[in-house]
Amino acid sequence: MCGIVGAVDFEASPEHRRELLQAMTDTMACRGPDAEGLWFGPWVGFGHRRLAVIDPAHGQQPMTADHEGRSASITFAGEVYNFRELRAELIGHGHRFRTACDTEVVLRGYLQWGAALVERLNGMYAFGIWDGQSEELLLVRDRMGVKPLYYHPTRAGVLFGSEPKAILADRTVPRRVGAEGLCEALDMVKTPEAAVFSGMYEVRPGQLVRVGRGGVRRQTYWRLEAREHTDDLPATIGAVRELLSDTVARQLVADVPLGVLLSGGLDSSAVTALAARSGPVRSFSVDFRGAADGFAPDAVRQAPDAPFVRDLARHVGADHREILLDSPELTDPAVRAAVLRATDLPPAYWGDMWPSLYLFFRAVKQHCTVALSGEAADELFGGYRWFRNPLALRAATFPWLTSGSARYFGGRSLFQQGLLDKLDLDGHRAARYSEALAEVPVLPGESAEDRRMREVTYLNLTRFVQTLLDRKDRMSMAVGLEVRVPFCDHRLVEYVFNVPWEMKSFDGREKSLLRAAVSDLLPRSVVERVKTPYPATQDPGYEGVLRAELAGLLRDRDAPVLPLLDLGRARSLVDRPLGAVSRPYDRGSLELVLWLNSWLREYEVTLDL
């Protein structure tokens, strides 16, 4: 895993702006703490920060290669899990390798197959390739969007980077956010290609972007397709087990210490158990100090994670470490500043989970450079409650933004009604929902129920999961930890996407298909456990600190968020009795206002509303 940046200017060589490219590269230092490099060619410059995972002694980037009169250069981030098979194939075509790393495989694959290379890759990746013959830049992002990649077209070329901060290092790039951008920042719709900052774009998952003298061209190389599922239930269960076993085995390959993130839920337990079949496994869990003693069940968390984590760790013989966080750490100014620097945007949803995940990953990094995680299983196999909530399924909007779930993902209560009317968040949400539905592939003859469940699954895999992958990527790479996600293997996603809903829910529970595929590997307690989300602090002192911060903000006449607030409601919240503390999932608007204020100030954002 690494951080990449680059610039193309068809009117002047970027080497004349070496200081800019160095500044862009420096912004990626957390993503790549092990090495850095710059490369310049005609009209182009690349920067790279490396987190060494495969062949640490070699594989320095940016990298250049030649074959049969063609030359190309690459700056690459991520991992290709089938690089060994591709390497063997390329050797058969006459390529001679200088390293044992996957980056050279991608580069030489391009020299052999051109852009068609992307159809052969299995992995999580984002990269830029400069073709010296055609004088064209190719930007590529993996199929599920595990790794980020942003770009900003300029008058004579483009700037690009793993995160917006790389592009914003060029002070001539305006830090403007319009109404559409602010809607994207405040609402949990995650529109593909939207990047919040005006003039900036995110490469869509499964997309390649070509930049040449004629401008920017976008091309989709992968999308979810509807296919008839012909396997019966036993064969389907077996296929899921085979695919998941293969992808976990592939993702265990690393030349540095590796572990697994374990919550005691079905998804992470399955990954941990499969990893343990390949040899000794290290696992890590997170919770808040004292949480087990003072745990209070709520609508989504019926029991703490710890007992299930310990059951699974004992069952597979994992070398397990429990990372215990103190709630006051979540409001540490240094921690919150690190989170904001990592995101480049206000963390508008998930609340305290951003700083807690940052702290968790920071602790894991002391023991491992690579970790496997269970993200995307809920979206793929139907783990969330909205997959089984008739009201959410009938609603003409994203199912996670219906009345039963929306309170978990941000809040608007502290904003001026005039601002909300001007932004028309509801209209923006409706338009994005309509666009998403129009993308869903159709299977002729499919029942109405299966059609709707295909739509809901598509929305989860192309919108909702992107918010999780963004959070995971930014918080892990902020501390130089590579997190891999086996459930995002495109082969598994393609297969399960087309399994009829009656098979996915054949026993009447969430994730029936996944449970059946891995139940023999797990203790009974984990098999029977109900879906439970990532832990949130239940310490009332946490909200007390946030409300005190809001009080200070209201006294600061220069606070950039003040003109956006309903000051009456904000003061009412500050003045509430100390004992009147919200539940963990009802702090959304308070969290959002504080993050938004910090973002507007630190990033010097101009709102064009």
Q: How far apart are CA 35 and CA 56, in angstroms?
A: 10
At 86, which helix (H) or strand (E)? helix 83-92
Q: 3-class DSSP state for residue 431?
A: helix
Long-range Cβ pairs for the range 200-204 (8 Å, 24+): 200/150, 200/151, 200/152, 200/164, 200/167, 200/173, 201/150, 201/151, 201/152, 201/153, 202/148, 202/149, 202/150, 203/126, 203/139, 203/140, 203/141, 203/149, 203/150, 203/151, 204/141, 204/145
Q: How many whole angstroms separate alpha carbon 158 and alpha carbon 338? A: 28
Measure CA 383 to chain center: 18
Tokens 């390959």 map to which residue? 253
Q: How far apart are the first and last CA of the chain?
A: 37
Cis status, amide bond into 62, omega within 30 of 0: yes
The candidate with the shortest Cα–Cα distance to 527, out of 510, 540, 544, is 510
- Active-site position among 2, 101, 368, 488: 2
C-alpha pair distances (Å), 149 with each of 136, 140, 401: 18, 8, 27
Any idea what the Cα angle at residue 361 is, between residues 357 and 363, rounded to 5°? 120
Q: Closest Cα partner for 102 from 367, 476, 482?
A: 482
Contact indicator for 184, 46 with CB cutoff of 8 Å: no
d(CA 104, CA 106) in angstroms, rounded, equals 5
Task: Match 């993200």 to its residue by tokens.
Answer: 375
Q: Do 65 and 72 contact (CB within 8 A), yes or no?
A: yes
CA distances for 288 relative to 325, 327, 538, angstroms: 5, 7, 9
Buried b (16+ CB within 10 A) or exposed e, 276-306: beeeebbbbbbbbeebeeebeeeebbeebbb
| 574: Cβ contacts below 8 Å, ≥ 6 apart | 547, 550, 551, 554
368 is catalytic: no
Beta bridge partners of 8: 44, 158
Residue with token string 């995101």: 343
Token reading at 179: 């109404």
Q: What pairing do the DSSP bridges indicate for beta strands 35-41 and 176-178?
A: unpaired
> Which residues belong to the active site?
2
